[in-house]
Amino acid sequence: MAERKRQVVIRAARRPMLCLRMDLDTLFTPYFNKWLERFGDGELHYVPRLLDQARELEVPLHFFAQGMGVIQYPDLLRRILAAGFAVDSHLHTHRITLIDDYGLIFEEVLTAEHLLKSIGAAPAGIGATGMYPEGIDGREDVQRLLMARGYHWVSSRFNLKRTLHEMQPYRYPNGLLELPCAGWSDFTWFYASDQPTLPEYDVGGSPTLEQFIRHVQDLTTLAARDGLILAVCLHPGLLAAHDPELHCVPRVIQHARRLGVEPADLRTIAAACPPARGG
């Protein structure tokens, strides 16, 4: 409880903003085969199309890559960087989360950092693997590590039971900024069938892309109305299977722009958050 009270919740955004967070996951090593079975191997072909579309729409998609990604598909990551999109850390192997053993987290954070820097990326924040209902609350060791490595923000909180109002940026006690991902991710939407379905979208069948787009648009409408930050967690490897014609990004972005919600990456959103008290 004391922990919760000391957090500084940043409720009043200067302006409503929307981030489409793109986690590059498909090829992550230990689950390579399992993942390919589930999602297919479309990610490598999908990302270049996504880049072309994003450039055309002038949308600052925010990519998160693993250290293993630098080993497995360096040219793709270089292409993303060359196109001017933010690429930040999604740790190294995807086997470890930010609520695991400290020693393993330490190794993952540093290895990913070295590899990403080796291709010219300058990781400024961490997009957590797994995502956690209460972010990294209570993990002062991890909060300290990230600050000590020069990361000023982390995006690790994901909680379907909380409203967008409850999923606004906040600071951990040491000043590290948390940028939660609100609403459903594409992963939970299409794959986590054990999650309770939102009644308004329950049509008695499998969740569809159309319903997912409407879900993100509805959250965007709320962000516009109440001046909120909305970050949505997406996976190009998964969109390749469920949105092969690339409908999601343009429809969500056009909706956002109509309502005056600015598309932004998490770096821009972090910069727009008030600074930590006392520096």
Asked if 88 is part of the footprint of Zn ion (rule: CB under 5 A), the reply reads: no
**Chain-centre distance of CA 167, in angstroms?**
13
Q: How many whole angstroms separate alpha carbon 210 and alpha carbon 250?
A: 13
Cα–Cα–Cα angle for 106, 180, 119, rounded to 5 degrees: 50
CB-side neighbour CA atoms (13 Å) of 193:
5
Name the residue nearer to Zn ion (CB basis): 25 or 113: 25
Name the residue nearer to Zn ion (CB basis): 128 or 223: 128
**Chain-centre distance of CA 22, in angstroms?**
6
Q: How far is the CB of 4 from Zn ion (least distance, A)?
A: 27
Q: Where are the beta strands (DSSP E) in 32-79?
A: 62-65
Name the residue nearer to Zn ion (CB basis): 236 or 263: 236
Name the residue nearer to Zn ion (CB basis): 16 or 180: 180
- Give residues 7-36 in contact with Zn ion (rule: CB under 5 A): 23, 25
Q: How far is the CB of 68 from Zn ion (least distance, A)?
A: 11
Q: How far is the CB of 25 from Zn ion (least distance, A)?
A: 4
Name the residue nearer to Zn ion (CB basis): 25 or 137: 25
Rounded CA Rg of the chain? 18
- Give residues 126-185 in contact with Zn ion (rule: CB under 5 A): none
Binding footprint of Zn ion, residue count (CB under 5 A): 2
Q: How many whole angstroms separate alpha carbon 43 and alpha carbon 27?
A: 9
Q: Which residues of the shown chain bind Zn ion in the complex (CB under 5 A)?
A: 23, 25
